[in-house]
Amino acid sequence: MSNPNFEFSTQPAMKNPELLNRLHQHRARLQGMGLKTAFQHDPDRFNQFHLRAAGLLADYSKNHIDESSRQDLLQLAEDAGVPKAINALFSGQPINHTEKRMALHTALRLQDSELPAASAVEVIGVRNRMLAVAEQIRNGQWLGHTGKPITTIVNIGVGGSDLGPMMAVQALQDFSQPGLNFHFVSNIDPAHISITLGQCDPETTLFIVASKTFTTLETLANAHAARQWLLNRLEETAVSRHFLAVSVNVKATNAFGIDPANVFPMWDWVGGRYSLWSAIGMSIAIAIGAPAFAAFLAGGRAMDEHFRTAPLMHNMPVMHALLGVWHINVMGCQSQAIICYDQNLTQFPAYLQQLDMESNGKSVQRNGKPVEWQTGAVLWGGVGTNTQHSFHQLFHQGAPLIPVDFLVPLRSHHPVDAQHAQLFSNCLAQSQALMEGRDRASVEAEMRAKGVSEADIALIAPHRVIPGNKPSTILVYERMSPAILGALIALYEHKVFVQSVIWNINPFDQWGVELGKQMSGEIFAAMNDEDKIKRLDGSTQALVRLFNVQN
Ligand code: F6P
């Protein structure tokens, strides 16, 4: 590739007026017809519009899609150079061109024998060391300074060094070693570390300082606080039995005082939000052990293989991405909801928020020109059925159109009477209610049957009408497992990547976040310096002074 911007097509696909025109015509036609009618016309929609890959089934049939709109969306992917981009991603081209880096997180999911020679020794070495330490902790061989086994793991990190491991340890709790407690400290709010330490015993607690750069303010502050807490109770030499670190910056971990034997390197070609597959996943490995960690990687690898080889039309990450583009760029949706009917996935929406919004929250094309089309949407969500009783009202009757991804397992790890069947039914019911809604005639008929007066029917019926015709996708899997979680994460990673290719943006940098980091440092430095305070804007000045009165 001679193009230093790593653009995958000569002309951005989003600048093809004929194709976009056709997509808008499809929208008018399909939205006009309505999803309920689409099923009446073609009861076989499920068979036509679902895909299976890596243990997941994605039912796209309750979206405004038909064969001709699908073909035009696939054309968009072809025009954007998605096949070329997939090849560039997997072959380790420096497609993160603003940081001149590869984005080779997929290599971390490879088996030892499949790794490229250039990185094999290092990747295998770190992975094996991580799994060996995890095993020692799990079987009680890793002893704290006073000779007691470790029972509590505290991961100190933020962003990708927190959200991924925290989400995965929670998601895989049914596979976790009994007797081990996990905490995740991320916030610079001193309450987070203080409250966590209040639940820990220094003799049996192990801290993992997880930071790709080892310069992140929150992580370093919390790690220093944890170290001080330990040293207030145990002697200096205790640090080597109670602190591990994961970082690219081995110099900084040494300076912090972490025993080099306890440092697990990572590489600049692993982005923070893709790092749970590296030693940043140490807490996951401790929780689930080596065989299950291997299954987790295998799940991600199975989705990689599918993404790399399946034709675009049968390619789940590609179709997922295209439906997202359809919703954002053609239907004008500004947000995407993720509702997990799986208590294990409580943290999954928060994890996806970083993956999606830190990646595609961009408005400059790869070539430096501003984009002329909408890019990433606001991603949000929670766990069903809880969310039904909080914000689903907005889905059903609110003004914004919000496409939903529902995630649901077929089986539970904890069968209790018919509760899992109830959970599953609720998920299907939400998707169906979004699609079918409720028209005025049926609302009135029901009210009349209950003997409601005509005056009250006229007053109340309009409020009880549910418009329906709202899109949703259902992702089904047998039940949560390391392999399923690996596949789910890889699905969304690749979806985000394909969207970035269509929008012609770089999903692997995050300069906006860097600005906030820099400015917080500047304000912090100004807080006790009257000359610097005076140079701040009026609002910031007033609030700094307010703070200084209290502190
Ligand atoms: O929030 C910005 C960011 O750079 C993320 O991309 C990253 O996951 C997080 O900070 C933490 O960074 P580090 O692992 O270097 O501490």
Span 34-55, pLDDT tens digits? 999 999 999 999 999 999 999 9
Q: Phi and psi at residue 467, in whole multiples of 5°?
A: -60, -35
Among 251, 266, 290, 240, which residue's Cα sits nearest to residue 161? 266
Residue 410: both structure tokens together: 């077929």
Rounded Cα gap, residues 211 and 385, in angstroms:
35
C-alpha 212 – ligand 1 centre gap (Å): 7
> 349 is written with which tokens?
């929406």
Say what the pTM is. Answer: 0.97
Ligand 1 atom nearest the C-alpha of 271 is 6
Measured in Å, residue 354 CA sits from the centre of ligand 1 at 10
Distance CA 161, CA 75 (A): 37
H or E element at residue 429 = helix 419-436
Average model confidence (pLDDT) across the chain: 97
* Phi, psi of 549, rounded to the nearest 5 degrees: -65, -35
Distance in angstroms (rounded) separating the CA atoms of residues 181 and 71: 50
Of 212, 353, 359, best ligand 1 pocket probe by most atoms within 8 Å of the beta carbon: 212
Q: Please report the pLDDT score of residue 118 as a whole number.
A: 86
Q: Model confidence over 381-425: pLDDT tens digits?
A: 999 999 999 999 999 999 999 999 999 999 999 999 999 999 999
Residue 26 is a catalytic residue: no
Burial of 43 (0-12, 13-18, 19+ CB in 10 A): exposed
Residue with more model confidence, 409 or 119: 409
Count of C-beta atoms within a 10 Å radius of residue 140: 12
On whether the CB atoms of residues 38 and 45 are closer than 8 A, the answer is yes
Q: Is 392 a catalytic residue?
A: no
- Ligand 1 site residues (CB inside 6 A) read 157-161, 211-213, 216, 219, 272-273, 358, 510, 513
C-alpha of residue 107 to centroid of ligand 1, in Å: 20
Residue 1 has pLDDT above 90, yes or no: no
d(CA 446, CA 452): 9
User: 252 φ, ψ to 5°?
Assistant: -70, -35
Distance, CA of 436 to CA of 78 (rounded, Å)? 33
**In terms of Cα–Cα distance, which of 438, 403, 437, 435 is closest to 35?**
435
**pLDDT, mean of residues 462-485:** 98
Average confidence (pLDDT) over 325-346: 98
Give 210-267 pLDDT, tens digit per residue. Answer: 999 999 999 999 999 999 999 999 999 999 999 999 999 999 999 999 999 999 999 9
Q: How sure is the predictor about 338, in pLDDT bands with cuts at 50, 70 and 90?
A: very high
Q: What distance in angstroms lies between residue 159's CA and the mean position of ligand 1's atoms?
A: 5
- From residue 310, alpha-carbon distances to 53, 105, 471, 497 in Å are 10, 20, 25, 16
Spot the catalytic one: 7, 203, 358, 444: 358
Q: Ligand 1 centroid vs 514 CA: distance in angstroms?
A: 9
Name the band, by pLDDT with cuts 50, 70 and 90, for residue 23.
Answer: very high
What count of Cα atoms within 13 Å lies in the side-chain half-sphere of residue 41?
A: 9
Query: Which residue minimizes the CA distance to atom 10 of ligand 1?
Result: 159
The rounded radius of gyration (Å) of the Cα atoms in the chain is 26
CB 533 within 8 A of CB 543: no
Burial of 441 (0-12, 13-18, 19+ CB in 10 A): exposed
Evaluated on CA atoms 139, 145, 146, 147, the torsion sign reads: positive
Distance 272 CA to ligand 1 centre (A): 5
Whole-Å CA distances, 507 to 428, 524, 549: 33, 30, 43
Closest CA to ligand 1's atom 2: 513
**SS3 (DSSP) at 404:** strand
Atom in ligand 1 nearest the alpha carbon of residue 163: 8
Q: How confident is the model at residue 3 (pLDDT cuts 50, 70, 90)?
A: confident
What the block records as the tokens of 211 is 């930071």
CA dist list (Å): 422 to 105, 356, 427, 472, 488: 38, 31, 9, 19, 23
Q: What tokens appear for 386 in the block?
A: 């809880």
Is 517 annotated in the active site? yes
Distance from Cα 214 to the centre of ligand 1, integer Å: 9
Catalytic residue among 100, 389, 450, 534: 389
Ligand 1: residue of 99, 101, 155, 158 to mutate (most ligand atoms within 8 A of CB) is 158
Give me the catalytic one of 67, 314, 517, 522: 517
The structure tokens 């980091």 sit at 517
SS3 category, 210? strand
Nearest residue by C-alpha to atom 4 in ligand 1: 272
Residue 2: pLDDT over 90: no
Considering the chain, what percentage of its residues have pLDDT values greater than 90? 97
Nearest CA to ligand 1 atom 1: 159
